[in-house]
């Protein structure tokens, strides 16, 4: 017997925050549906919302951080990638000062994640250079 159910969630693609239903068949994501009771989208989705499920199992989806070594991008652990990034940021800050660093947040992050990015910029790195892709 097939196991089919829907999981209600929020579209991750823009700040409109349309609710959508993820269609799950035998434990695998197979589609999205608009959520008729959602007052934001009024039961409609744009092309991004309708296709929001497709990247999950896409064969070219990046599933691990990549670090450039010479001309080659090598898969590394999150720990390795974050340590590399922290060392680079602190090195730039020490050599050129905090104003040499800027943080660019994303509409694909949650409000809480965007809050943490500006907190990292201001409280940890000492810069007010924070911007957001929604201003472009
Ligand atoms: S369905 Fe379209 S308009 Fe709605 S949140 Fe997703 S990207 Fe934005």
* Per-residue pLDDT tens over the stretch 23-66: 999 999 999 999 999 999 999 999 999 998 998 889 999 999 99
Which of 41, 53, 55 should be mutated for ligand 1, with most atoms under 8 A from CB? 41
pLDDT of 106 higher than 90:
no
Tell which wins on pLDDT, 101 or 111.
Answer: 101
Distance CA 102, CA 27 (A): 41
Mean pLDDT of the chain: 93
Partners of residue 66 on adjacent β-strands: 75
Average pLDDT estimate for 115-134: 93
Give SS3 for 23.
Answer: strand
Q: How far apart are alpha carbons 26 and 9 in whole angstroms?
A: 19
Is a pLDDT exceeding 90 seen at residue 122?
A: yes
**Could you tell me the pLDDT band of residue 103, with boundaries at 50, 70 and 90?**
very high
Please, what CATH class does the domain formed by 4-50 belong to?
mainly beta
**pLDDT at position 136:** 57
Angstrom distance (rounded) from CA 32 to CA 22: 5
Q: Ligand 1 centre and the CA of 6: distance in Å?
A: 18
Query: Atom 2 in ligand 1: which residue has the minimum CA distance?
Result: 46
Instruction: Give percent above pLDDT 90 in the chain.
Output: 79
d(Cα 21, Cα 33) in Å, to the nearest integer?
A: 5
6 pairs with which residues across the strands?
23
Q: Is the CB of 35 under 6 A from ligand 1?
A: no
| CB of 102 sitting under 6 A from ligand 1 | no
Question: From residue 36, how far is each of 22, 24, 43, 127 by CA, in Å?
Answer: 13, 18, 4, 44
Per-residue pLDDT, averaged over 84-107, amounts to 95
> At residue 131, does pLDDT exceed 90?
yes
* pTM of this structure: 0.69
DSSP 30-74: EEEEE-TT-TTTTT---HHHHTTTTTTT-TT---S-EEEETTEEE
Of 17-26, 53-62, 63-72, 82-91, least confident by mean pLDDT is 53-62
Domains in the chain: boundaries? 4-50, 66-135
């Amino acid at each position: 017997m097939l196991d089919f159910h829907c999981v209600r969630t929020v579209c991750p693609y823009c700040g409109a925050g349309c609710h959508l239903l993820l269609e799950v068949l035998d434990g695998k994501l197979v589609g999205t549906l608009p959520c008729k009771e959602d007052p934001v989208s009024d039961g409609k989705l744009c092309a991004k919302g309708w296709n929001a499920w497709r990247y999950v199992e896409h064969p070219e989806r990046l599933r691990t951080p990549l670090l450039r070594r010479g001309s080659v991008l090598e898969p590394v652990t999150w720990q390795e990638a974050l340590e590399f990034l922290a060392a680079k940021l602190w090195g730039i800050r020490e050599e050129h000062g905090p104003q040499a660093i800027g943080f660019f947040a994303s509409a694909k992050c949650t409000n809480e994640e965007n809050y943490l990015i500006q907190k990292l910029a201001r409280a940890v790195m000492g810069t007010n250079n924070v911007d957001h892709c929604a201003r472009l």
